[in-house]
Amino acid sequence: MRHSDTSWDERQKRLAEAKTLADFANLEPSDVGAFRKDHPDFFPAAWWDYRPTTLTKRPTLEKPTPKMQWEIVQQMVRDTWLRQFRLPPFWSTWLLTSVFDPEEMGWDEEHRPPFVTGLHVLDIDSYPYHEAVQWLVGQSWRVKQCEQCGKCFIAEASQRRFCSNDGDTSCFWAHRKAGRKNNADEVNKDRRNNYDPKARRRRYLRDKRRKA
Ligand SMILES: [Zn+2]
Protein backbone atom coordinates (compact mmCIF):
# COMPACT_ATOMS: atom_id res chain seq x y z
CA MET A 1 0.00 0.00 0.00
CA ARG A 2 1.33 3.42 -0.92
CA HIS A 3 1.83 5.96 1.80
CA SER A 4 -0.89 8.22 0.37
CA ASP A 5 -3.40 5.35 0.53
CA THR A 6 -2.69 4.88 4.21
CA SER A 7 -3.19 8.54 4.97
CA TRP A 8 -6.37 8.62 2.88
CA ASP A 9 -7.80 5.67 4.81
CA GLU A 10 -6.72 7.30 8.03
CA ARG A 11 -8.50 10.53 7.08
CA GLN A 12 -11.72 8.70 6.18
CA LYS A 13 -11.61 7.02 9.56
CA ARG A 14 -11.12 10.37 11.33
CA LEU A 15 -13.97 11.91 9.33
CA ALA A 16 -16.31 9.02 10.18
CA GLU A 17 -15.47 9.34 13.90
CA ALA A 18 -15.98 13.10 13.80
CA LYS A 19 -19.40 12.61 12.18
CA THR A 20 -20.34 10.12 14.88
CA LEU A 21 -19.38 12.74 17.46
CA ALA A 22 -21.70 15.21 15.67
CA ASP A 23 -24.49 12.60 15.89
CA PHE A 24 -23.81 12.29 19.61
CA ALA A 25 -24.02 16.09 20.02
CA ASN A 26 -27.42 16.05 18.25
CA LEU A 27 -28.68 12.98 20.12
CA GLU A 28 -32.12 13.04 21.79
CA PRO A 29 -32.53 10.85 24.91
CA SER A 30 -35.08 8.69 23.06
CA ASP A 31 -32.45 7.86 20.39
CA VAL A 32 -29.73 6.59 22.73
CA GLY A 33 -30.62 2.94 22.05
CA ALA A 34 -30.35 3.39 18.27
CA PHE A 35 -27.08 5.32 18.58
CA ARG A 36 -25.53 2.61 20.75
CA LYS A 37 -26.62 -0.05 18.30
CA ASP A 38 -25.12 1.85 15.35
CA HIS A 39 -21.89 2.72 17.20
CA PRO A 40 -21.36 0.05 19.87
CA ASP A 41 -17.64 0.82 20.34
CA PHE A 42 -17.62 4.62 20.16
CA PHE A 43 -17.92 4.91 23.98
CA PRO A 44 -17.25 2.26 26.66
CA ALA A 45 -20.52 0.30 27.04
CA ALA A 46 -20.73 0.67 30.86
CA TRP A 47 -20.15 4.43 30.61
CA TRP A 48 -23.70 4.95 29.27
CA ASP A 49 -25.17 3.81 32.60
CA TYR A 50 -22.80 5.79 34.78
CA ARG A 51 -24.18 8.52 37.02
CA PRO A 52 -21.55 10.51 38.94
CA THR A 53 -21.94 11.87 42.45
CA THR A 54 -21.87 15.59 43.24
CA LEU A 55 -18.52 17.07 44.17
CA THR A 56 -18.45 18.10 47.84
CA LYS A 57 -15.74 18.64 50.42
CA ARG A 58 -17.26 15.92 52.61
CA PRO A 59 -17.61 12.61 50.82
CA THR A 60 -20.46 11.57 53.16
CA LEU A 61 -22.63 14.34 51.66
CA GLU A 62 -22.18 13.15 48.10
CA LYS A 63 -25.32 12.20 46.25
CA PRO A 64 -26.03 11.15 42.67
CA THR A 65 -26.18 14.05 40.19
CA PRO A 66 -29.50 14.69 38.43
CA LYS A 67 -27.83 14.07 35.06
CA MET A 68 -26.27 10.95 33.66
CA GLN A 69 -22.62 11.12 32.71
CA TRP A 70 -23.43 10.96 29.00
CA GLU A 71 -25.78 13.96 29.33
CA ILE A 72 -23.09 16.00 31.07
CA VAL A 73 -20.53 15.12 28.40
CA GLN A 74 -23.05 15.82 25.64
CA GLN A 75 -23.57 19.34 27.01
CA MET A 76 -19.79 19.85 27.04
CA VAL A 77 -19.49 18.57 23.47
CA ARG A 78 -22.27 20.95 22.35
CA ASP A 79 -20.51 23.90 24.00
CA THR A 80 -17.27 22.78 22.40
CA TRP A 81 -19.01 22.68 19.02
CA LEU A 82 -20.07 26.33 19.41
CA ARG A 83 -16.41 27.18 19.97
CA GLN A 84 -15.47 25.08 16.92
CA PHE A 85 -13.04 23.18 19.14
CA ARG A 86 -10.96 26.30 19.79
CA LEU A 87 -10.61 25.38 23.42
CA PRO A 88 -9.46 27.17 26.55
CA PRO A 89 -6.64 25.43 28.50
CA PHE A 90 -7.70 22.17 30.25
CA TRP A 91 -11.01 22.05 28.43
CA SER A 92 -9.84 19.19 26.22
CA THR A 93 -8.49 17.42 29.32
CA TRP A 94 -12.01 17.49 30.78
CA LEU A 95 -13.48 16.18 27.53
CA LEU A 96 -10.95 13.35 27.39
CA THR A 97 -11.05 12.26 31.03
CA SER A 98 -14.85 12.30 31.34
CA VAL A 99 -15.25 9.28 29.05
CA PHE A 100 -13.94 6.09 30.68
CA ASP A 101 -14.98 2.57 31.54
CA PRO A 102 -16.33 2.90 35.10
CA GLU A 103 -15.94 -0.82 35.68
CA GLU A 104 -12.21 -0.54 35.04
CA MET A 105 -11.62 2.39 37.40
CA GLY A 106 -12.11 0.48 40.67
CA TRP A 107 -14.19 3.15 42.38
CA ASP A 108 -16.62 2.33 45.17
CA GLU A 109 -20.37 2.84 44.85
CA GLU A 110 -20.55 5.99 46.99
CA HIS A 111 -17.81 8.04 45.36
CA ARG A 112 -18.28 8.35 41.64
CA PRO A 113 -16.25 11.21 40.10
CA PRO A 114 -17.35 12.88 36.85
CA PHE A 115 -13.82 12.73 35.42
CA VAL A 116 -10.59 10.86 36.04
CA THR A 117 -7.64 12.47 37.80
CA GLY A 118 -4.25 11.42 39.11
CA LEU A 119 -2.48 8.34 37.87
CA HIS A 120 -5.82 6.72 36.95
CA VAL A 121 -5.65 8.91 33.83
CA LEU A 122 -3.00 6.54 32.51
CA ASP A 123 -5.46 3.65 32.83
CA ILE A 124 -8.10 5.15 30.55
CA ASP A 125 -8.45 3.13 27.38
CA SER A 126 -8.68 5.17 24.22
CA TYR A 127 -11.99 4.96 22.33
CA PRO A 128 -12.99 6.49 18.97
CA TYR A 129 -14.59 9.32 20.99
CA HIS A 130 -11.13 10.32 22.29
CA GLU A 131 -9.65 10.18 18.79
CA ALA A 132 -12.44 12.41 17.44
CA VAL A 133 -12.03 15.03 20.17
CA GLN A 134 -8.27 15.26 19.65
CA TRP A 135 -8.50 15.36 15.88
CA LEU A 136 -11.13 18.13 15.80
CA VAL A 137 -8.95 20.48 17.87
CA GLY A 138 -6.94 21.00 14.67
CA GLN A 139 -9.97 21.02 12.31
CA SER A 140 -12.02 24.00 13.46
CA TRP A 141 -13.20 24.90 9.95
CA ARG A 142 -15.05 21.55 9.72
CA VAL A 143 -16.99 22.07 12.94
CA LYS A 144 -20.26 23.75 11.94
CA GLN A 145 -23.90 24.20 12.81
CA CYS A 146 -26.49 23.93 10.05
CA GLU A 147 -27.87 27.37 9.11
CA GLN A 148 -31.27 25.82 8.45
CA CYS A 149 -31.92 23.33 11.28
CA GLY A 150 -29.16 24.19 13.81
CA LYS A 151 -27.76 20.66 14.03
CA CYS A 152 -24.06 20.04 14.59
CA PHE A 153 -22.32 18.68 11.51
CA ILE A 154 -18.88 18.03 10.04
CA ALA A 155 -18.17 19.89 6.80
CA GLU A 156 -16.18 18.14 4.08
CA ALA A 157 -15.62 21.43 2.27
CA SER A 158 -15.11 24.80 3.93
CA GLN A 159 -18.03 26.55 2.16
CA ARG A 160 -20.63 24.03 3.36
CA ARG A 161 -23.43 25.71 5.32
CA PHE A 162 -26.00 22.94 5.73
CA CYS A 163 -26.05 19.50 7.35
CA SER A 164 -27.54 17.98 4.17
CA ASN A 165 -27.26 19.15 0.57
CA ASP A 166 -28.87 16.50 -1.61
CA GLY A 167 -32.53 15.86 -2.31
CA ASP A 168 -35.82 17.63 -1.70
CA THR A 169 -35.76 16.99 2.03
CA SER A 170 -32.24 18.41 2.55
CA CYS A 171 -31.63 21.55 4.59
CA PHE A 172 -29.99 23.15 1.54
CA TRP A 173 -33.28 22.92 -0.38
CA ALA A 174 -35.38 23.97 2.58
CA HIS A 175 -33.19 27.07 2.90
CA ARG A 176 -33.46 27.86 -0.81
CA LYS A 177 -37.21 27.48 -0.79
CA ALA A 178 -37.51 29.74 2.26
CA GLY A 179 -35.24 32.25 0.50
CA ARG A 180 -37.46 32.27 -2.57
CA LYS A 181 -40.53 32.85 -0.44
CA ASN A 182 -38.86 35.79 1.33
CA ASN A 183 -37.88 37.29 -2.01
CA ALA A 184 -41.44 36.91 -3.27
CA ASP A 185 -42.74 38.61 -0.12
CA GLU A 186 -40.35 41.51 -0.70
CA VAL A 187 -41.42 41.90 -4.33
CA ASN A 188 -45.11 41.87 -3.36
CA LYS A 189 -44.50 44.47 -0.66
CA ASP A 190 -42.75 46.63 -3.22
CA ARG A 191 -45.64 46.28 -5.61
CA ARG A 192 -48.17 47.12 -2.92
CA ASN A 193 -46.24 50.28 -2.07
CA ASN A 194 -46.10 51.28 -5.69
CA TYR A 195 -49.85 50.77 -6.13
CA ASP A 196 -50.78 52.61 -2.97
CA PRO A 197 -53.29 55.24 -4.27
CA LYS A 198 -52.01 58.00 -1.99
CA ALA A 199 -48.42 57.38 -3.00
CA ARG A 200 -49.46 57.41 -6.63
CA ARG A 201 -51.23 60.72 -6.17
CA ARG A 202 -48.14 62.17 -4.42
CA ARG A 203 -45.97 61.02 -7.34
CA TYR A 204 -48.46 62.44 -9.82
CA LEU A 205 -48.51 65.83 -8.07
CA ARG A 206 -44.70 65.88 -7.74
CA ASP A 207 -44.23 65.10 -11.43
CA LYS A 208 -46.83 67.76 -12.34
CA ARG A 209 -44.98 70.37 -10.26
CA ARG A 210 -41.71 69.48 -11.96
CA LYS A 211 -43.24 69.88 -15.40
CA ALA A 212 -44.81 73.21 -14.44
ZN1 LIG B 1 -29.75 20.95 8.79
127 CB neighbour count, 10 Å cutoff: 17
Instruction: For the chain, list residues with pLDDT below 70.
Output: 1-4, 59, 186-197
According to the model, what pLDDT value does residue 109 have? 78
Task: Give residue 15 CA to ligand 1 midpoint distance, Å.
Answer: 18
Q: What is the DSSP string of 71-125?
A: HHHHHHHHHHHHTTT-PPTTHHHHHHHT---HHHHT--SS---SS--GGGGGGPP
Task: Give residue 39 CA to ligand 1 midpoint distance, Å.
Answer: 22
Task: Give residue 56 CA to ligand 1 midpoint distance, Å.
Answer: 41
According to the model, what pLDDT value does residue 206 have? 84
Task: Give residue 69 CA to ligand 1 midpoint distance, Å.
Answer: 27
64, β-bridge pairs: 53
Burial classification of residue 170, based on how many CB atoms lie within 10 Å of its CB (0-12 exposed, 13-18 middle, 19 or more buried): middle
Global pTM value: 0.81
According to the model, what pLDDT value does residue 174 have? 92
- The protein residues having their C-beta less than 5 angstroms from ligand 1 (an ion) are 146, 148-149, 151, 163, 171
Question: Domain map of the chain by residue range?
Answer: 3-158, 172-211
**Percent composition of the chain: helix, strand, coil (DSSP 3-state, to 5):** 60, 5, 35
Task: Give residue 150 CA to ligand 1 midpoint distance, Å.
Answer: 6
165 CB neighbour count, 10 Å cutoff: 12
According to the model, what pLDDT value does residue 127 have? 97
Task: Give residue 57 CA to ligand 1 midpoint distance, Å.
Answer: 44
Task: Give residue 83 CA to ligand 1 midpoint distance, Å.
Answer: 18
Instruction: State how far the Cα of 78 lies from the Cα of 132, in Å rounded to an integer.
Output: 14
